[in-house]
Structure 1
Amino acid sequence: MNYAKTAMLLAAMTALFMGLGFLIGGSTGMVIALVVAAAMNFWSYWGSDRAVLSMYGAQEVDQNSAPELYAMVQGLAERAGLPMPRVYLIHEDQPNAFATGRNPENAAVAVNTGLLNRLTREEVAGVVAHELAHIKNRDTLTMTVTATLAGAVSMLANFAAFAGSSNDNRHPVGLIGSIAMMILAPLAASIVQMAISRSREYEADRLGAEISGNPMALASALARIAGAHEEVNVTAERNPQTAHMFIINPLSGQRMDNLFSTHPDTGNRIAALQQLAAAWGQMQSAPPQRMPWGGGRRAGPWG
């Protein structure tokens, strides 16, 4: 059902983009808009992963520099039937993680040092499994495409406003129509983008729980990460367009699902994982007791 919903939302985003191009310049405008979108998506497909990792100052690690983390990712990737992704550390106190890459063969998992310092080994494994689920489902590519299309819609809307104001008589939609497009088109694109993101998060939670074999550890991790949102993620604040990539939005502690949230309500996600654990006979009366990472030894090169 989530796959069908994602396909329909992507189709809606594409239709919105093509319609906006048509309103600006008729059939020619629609073709030009598609060419521009294709060029933007081509760049995103090949270079977006490196760009976002660089943006957050992520450092690649291996079995020598972060043996426990690397071994965990490797073991979970094998369970998921995935090639070994590249593993990165981000020196950020706010606990969080994200995945990126155009396909499973060119994927990366990045975790904040705060995640390793504050969560148990089982909880970290649940988070990593969630990110591997995004890779397996190719959500990293889907979200790159939707983010690029949303940006392209905003660009076209601004162009439409300029064209409409500069030549009101000859522009197909006129000044009033241009103003409406300038406001409504980016809003609609953002709503579609966020709806796709929320849908993919629920699916990644489910598949991630299957990969790790411990839904309650992922549920506990989500609660801990959500509880740390009073802390500032400076890099994410400078680049809000990347917020949807993280397991929990690093810029918002809001608890309600709505049209303008990039992620589902954390409580709803935890409840879904609890139902899954109950179906598996793994329901626990309390979250796992907090224990040091790796039995008291840090896995990364920062300590």
Structure 2
Amino acid sequence: MSGGGARDGDHAVSDGDGTRAVLLDARDVHVVRDGRPLLRDVSLTVRAGEHWALLGANGAGKTTLLSLLGARVHPTYGTVEVLGRRLGTVDLRELRSLVGHVDPRHPPRSALRVRDVVLTGLTNSVERLPRWAPTAEQEERADRLIGTLGLAGRREARWTTLSQGERGRVLIARALMPEPRLLLLDEPATGLDLPGREQFIEALDSLREEHPRLATVLVTHHLEELPPGTSHALLLREGCVSARGPAGQVLTGDQVGKCFDLPLVLDRHGGRWSVRVARRR
């Protein structure tokens, strides 16, 4: 990892030469489970302000890679550094608290109000902790995030009354409460209808504009789910990297077609991608 950077607490902020700080650095990573390779020789560097898409077919290794980047599992071989800390040398629980992780399967057990769900991001709990109360400043931050994600009118709504798309946006606000430098999203548009998907993508773009130094890594296998602000992409095929780099260079019909083993045509309009299978002659 590039060194010499200034630090803000445990978070890298900027390198001395003005370049963007490295937040994630995975080098030659292998993950083997029960003798079966899930990832092979995978490398990835994510810098502040970058917005990465991880794409590949089902079983390609996307969720396994995201688990590594989120300090949830160790690599079998290779090295992973998250916010300057190497996995295997730090307490994973502590490191996880510095990374925002959006899991669409988040399961509140009671009908919390939206604001309360967001505030649980500070305690990393499913429910409000007994005898814990947020400060006025923390409540104001929760309200700002709720507004940024287009849910100001739903602040007092109960979790059980929210649509799937609204829940996804609430979970982004929750993940951002501890002010992480890095946000990981695991197939966040799963189960959304068309309006819900578009509202979700719009919310991600608003987030990018209001938090220009935040880095995101979004896992999906649908190019239509990528926000216009996607800056980089990594394609996984059978646990190996088939392409990696700036989105405009990676997300092409040829590269994505090889990844999914289909003849594909990709188009981009207004910053959004669409894909179709090429007609066979």
Superposition TM-score, scaled by structure 1 size: 0.27
Q: In proportion to residue count, which structure has more helix?
A: 1
Q: Name the structure where strand makes up a greater proportion of residues.
A: 2
Normalised to the residue count of structure 2, the TM-score between the two structures is 0.29
